Amino acid sequence: MRLPALHHMVPAAALVIGAAVIAAPIPFRLIPVTDITPGEAARILVAIRSGLATGAQVGLPTDLARVANDRVPALLSVWEHGRRRIEWQVDGKPLSESVPELAEKATRFAEDRDPRALRLQLNLAVAEGWIPQDGVLAGLAFVPGHDGVSGLVGELRVYVPPSELIRQDRYEGVAPLPGYELGIRLGLGMDKARRALLLEAERMGVEGDEARFLRRFKALTVVEGADLTPRLLMRGTVERPALDSARMKAAVLAGASYLSRALGPNGLYRYHYNPVKDEDVHDPYNWPRHAGVSYSLALVGRLLKRQDFVEAAGKALDGFSRRLAPGPGGSRCLMDRGRCYVGSSALGLLAFSEYRIASGDGRFDDAARGLAAFLLAMQKDDGLFYHDWSPKKGIDLDLMKLYASQQGVLAMARHGRAMGDSRAIAAAEKGMDNLAGPYWSFFLGGYFFGQEHWTCLAAEELYETIPKPEYARICLGVGDHYVRVTLGERDTPFAEDVGGMSVTHLFSPHEGGTATAAEAMTSAVVLGEKTGRDVSRIKRTVVSTYGFLSRCQVSAHDTFWTKRPEIAIGGFYETQVKPQVRIDNVQHAISAMVRGLAYVPSGSATSAAEAQRDFSLSP
C-alpha cells in the first residue's frame, strides 16, 4: 500500500525535536544599544515626514532627549509605488545627529516628487551581537523577521534589515541537521546573508567583493501605512488592533474579494502570487483547490449575504464542470492528467452543493449527481473511499492521498442536504462512522491527530441530521489536540505568532496549517455547544488563532513594498517571512473566520469604519 508522505502522518513534535534541541540553547547574545520604544521610533518618522511636507529642517523630537545620545545604527528607506527608491544608513552617530541627517536627505530626495506617494520606513538596530562566520550554528542564531545582518564590505559596515531579507526570500534556509532532509528550514544561511550584504553594498555604491565580520542585529522597524501614520512592522505585516467582530468581518470580506479578483476571464484563479515581487509562482494549477476556493466563496456569500461572491463561485464552477469526464458506471469525475482522484471530485461536489444552497440555481445539479455517483462507485465496504480511478486501469486499490476520504464524506453529506439525496446521506454516515471509530483506533492514534479539518467539518455537517455522540467526540478530540499545538502568550516571545499553530517558537507558524486548525476548532466549538460540553478552552484558542490569521492578511497598510496593492489586499501570506499568497490559504482562513464571528468580541461602528479603510483598494 502506498501511504501519504511520512511528514504528514507523524506528530509535528517528532519532526522538530532535533532542531529545537540544537537551536534553543544557542548562546549568541545580543547587546542592547538603546531602549527606544516603538512609539518613540514612530515619533521620529512623524518628524521626518513633517520635513517632507514643509521643507523645514528637522531634528530629533525634543521629548526624546533620553535617547538623544544613543549611538543606534539607523536606516531610512523611501518606498514609492511598491519600489524601494533609496535607503540611507547612518552608523556610529547618536540619534541627535543621525535623525537630522536622515531627515535632510529625505527632504532633498522628495523635492521633485509627490510626498504623499512616498512611504517612509525606519529601521533601528537596537541590539547587536557576534555570530560565528560560517556553519549551521551561525545560521540558526538568526530569528527570521526579527534579526537583520550586517557586515563589512570594503571599509563600510553595511546593514540589511529583516524586511529586506524577507523581500529577497533569504530566511529559513538552514537545515538544522546537516545531511538529513527533514523538510525543515530555520534561520538565515550565511551564503544568503553575504549575497544580501553585497547586493546592498552595490546599491549604495560601495566597492567590495567580500562581506566580512558578520553580525546579527535586532531591528525595531516602523513604516508608514496607507494613511501615512507610522506603524510597527512585525515581520511581514504591521501591528494590528485587537480583533473584534467588525474587524473580522471586514477581514473575511477582504479575503473573499481577493479571491473574486483573482478569478480571471478564463474561469481560473490566480493560483499562487508573490505581491512583493509582483510575480506569479508557477506551480501546476490545482483543481481540488480551485473547487475548495469556489466552495469558500459560496459559503461566505451565503453567510454574509453577498451575492457577488456567490456569482463568482458560479463562474469558477462553470470552468470546473467543463472538465468533468465519464467515470465508472455512468458517473462523472474531474479528469486531471488522465486520472480521476476522489479528492478533486469530492471538493467539486462540495462546491456545487454549497453553490446550490446559496443561490438556489440548479444549473450544476446534473454535474453534482454525476460526481455523487462517482463517489458512491469509489466507496469501500468500510465506508471510506478508494482514492484513484483511470479509464485504462480502473480503480487503484492501493493509492492513498491526504484528506480524500474525509473530503468525500463531507461532500456526500452536503450534497445530501442540498439535493435531499438519502443515498448520499447514508454513504456519508457510513464513512463518518469509520472516521469517528476504527480510523483512529490504533496505538499512536491516542496521542495525536493530523490535519483533520475535513473530518470536523463532516462531523458538524452530519450531526445536524444524525446526532451521534461519536461524531462530536472525534472533533472535540481534534480541537483539544490543536489547542496543545497552538502558541499561547507564554509559548513564544513573539506577539505576532500567538495563535499560530506550531510546537516551537523557532518556526514562523504557517498560515495555511493554522487556518485549517481554525476550521476544525470552530467546528469543535459548534459541536461542543450542541452537546453541552465545556469548550471554553477551545473557544479561547480559536479566537487567538483568528487574531493570528488577521496578522497574516495583507491590508492597505502593508502595501509599502507591494507594486500592485489592488491585487494583493485581502490575501494571506503563507508565513510572516514568506510573503506569498496561495488561494487555498485564503480559502481556509476566511472559511474558519466567517463561521466564528459570533465567538469574538462585538465590534463598534468606529472599528467597522476603520476596518473598511484598512482594506480599501483606493490609495
State pLDDT tens for residues 524-553: 999 999 999 999 999 999 999 999 999 999
Q: How far apart are CA 331 and CA 530, in angstroms?
A: 37
Helix axes 245-262, 307-321, angle to 10 degrees: 40
Under a CB-based contact definition with an 8 Å cutoff, are residues 176 and 184 in contact? yes
How far is residue 526's CA from residue 520's CA, in Å, rounded to a whole number?
Answer: 10
Helix or strand or coil: residue 44?
A: helix
CATH number for the domain running over 238-614: 1.50.10.10
Confidence of residue 139 (pLDDT cuts 50, 70, 90): confident
Q: Would you list the domain boundaries of the chain?
A: 15-234, 238-614
Q: Provide the total of helices (H) and of strands (E) in the chain, helices listed first.
A: 20, 19
H-helix or E-strand containing 408?
A: helix 404-419
Give percent of the chain with pLDDT exceeding 90.
82
Q: What is the mean pLDDT of residues 307-323?
A: 97
The residue assigned the cell 459560496 is 298
Instruction: Please check whether residue 571 is in contact with residue 554, taking contact to mean a CB–CB distance below 8 angstroms.
Output: yes
Rg (CA), the chain: 26
Mean pLDDT of 89-96: 96
401-418 per-position pLDDT tens digit: 878 999 999 999 999 999
Please check whether residue 147 is in contact with residue 217, taking contact to mean a CB–CB distance below 8 angstroms: yes
Measure Cα distances from 182 to 177, 185, 577 in Å.
8, 9, 20
For all residues of the chain together, what is the average pLDDT?
Answer: 91
What gap in Å lies between CA 289 and CA 41, rounded to an integer? Answer: 42
103 grid coordinates: 531627515
The CA distance from 423 to 257, in Å, is 36
Confidence check: pLDDT of 367 > 60:
yes
pLDDT higher than 60, residue 26: no
Provide the residue count of the chain.
Answer: 619
**Secondary structure of 155-170 as H, E, C letters:** CEEEEECHHHHHHCCC
pLDDT at 400: 81
What whole-number distance in Å separates Cα of residue 8 and Cα of residue 512?
Answer: 14
Nearest to residue 407, comparing CAs of 353, 467, 356, 483? 353
* CA–CA distance, 328 with 44 (Å, rounded to integer): 69
